[in-house]
Amino acid sequence: MDKLFHIFELTEDLVKDIRARDYEAHLHDFEELIIVTRGSLVHFIDFEQEKANAPFFCYISMGKMHKLIPHEDLRGWVINYKPEFMPDSKLSFYSNFFTSTNIPLSSASCINQYSNLCKLIEDGYKHEPVDYASLRNLLSGLISMIEAERKNNMPVETVARASQIETFNRFLKILEENFKQNEGVSFYAEKMNMSERNLNIISKNNFQKSVSEIIETRKLIEAKRLLLHTNKSVSEIGFELGYNEKSYFTRVFHNKMSITPSQFREMSQSIIS
């Protein structure tokens, strides 16, 4: 994409056109937001398949290999933007720890709000000259609405919710600084002056994953990035991520992806070429 920003509506005609074409899996050099207001789709992300039904929001971070197969009734909006357009997005931060970001949207009134805001963004995008500062503010508002929706889905009382979110985000920041080390749950619990049990409760409340699952996911995402974008050997990548033995790194990767690191690299390079 040669523009900083782009938005388009998933209309009946566009969905028919997408379904008629033979789209291959591909990599983006931009961030992508998909807001599905009706229908469903099948999504292949880094060789993993997901099916999602409306209403929901999907975020695909830059560099993730994906393929989208819409069903006939799919409707909604797609927003693409370069990382420099929204450099401090929380969605980008979260994408370091989770293989995908699918957030269900709760009500018809909520869907109308999203649709109206997307229409407002589209109108601003079509107006010449484009006011990118205004578009950035509108997109920031849209992302804030999505983040509020995610918080509302947390299975904790309202009073405790803000505190848990703050604690969880602090954990993610500590993890980002230390995930390449061979450290387990106890290391992060000690860093945060709390028990492993409480840290696990907060992690599951926020993203329905245990601390150990989040740690492994962060390593997996980094492993895929290094396999795609560097010439480092599988052994070097495993060692860089805290796995002392290539066989153990390969086994962990295979358990998550159902293919080995070498197969992932070969398949990815074949698709890219």
Ramachandran region of residue 197, left (φ > 0), alpha (ψ -120 to 50) or beta? alpha
Instruction: Report which secondary-structure segment, H or E, holds 84.
Output: none
Tell me what pLDDT residue 76 has: 96
What pLDDT, on the 0 to 100 scale, is given for residue 72? 94
CATH code of 69's domain: 2.60.120.280
77-113 burial, b for 16+ CB within 10 Å, e for fewer?
bbbbbbeebbeebebbebbbbbbbbebebeeeebbee
pLDDT digits (tens, 9 = 90+) for 142-156: 998 887 777 666 655
Q: What is the pLDDT of residue 105?
A: 80
Q: Which residues pair with 6 in a beta bridge?
A: 80
Count of domains observed in the chain: 2
Structure tokens at 160: 């405790």
Domain holding 82, by residue range, is: 5-152
Radius of gyration of the chain (CA): 20
Query: In a 10 Å sphere around its CB, with 0-12 CB exposed, 13-18 middle and 19+ buried, how is residue 27 labelled?
Result: middle
| Percent of the chain whose pLDDT exceeds 90 | 57
- Looking at the fold, whether 83 and 128 belong to one and the same domain comes out as yes
- Residues 110 and 194 reside in one and the same domain: no
Clarify whether residues 103 and 210 are in a common domain.
Answer: no
Do both 78 and 115 map to the same domain?
Answer: yes
Q: Which of 152, 172, 201 is the last residue of a domain?
A: 152
**pLDDT (tens digit, 9 = 90+) per residue, 214-258?**
999 999 999 998 998 899 999 999 999 999 999 999 999 999 888
Domain boundary among 152, 168, 194: 152
How many beta carbons lie within 10 A of that of residue 28, not counting itself?
A: 15
pTM (2 d.p.): 0.81
d(CA 182, CA 255): 18
For residue 239, give the nearest of 187, 183, 180 by alpha carbon: 180
Q: Is cis: bond before 83, omega within 30 of 0?
A: no
| Rounded-to-integer distance, Cα 247 and Cα 96, Å | 24
29 and 103 fall within a common domain: yes
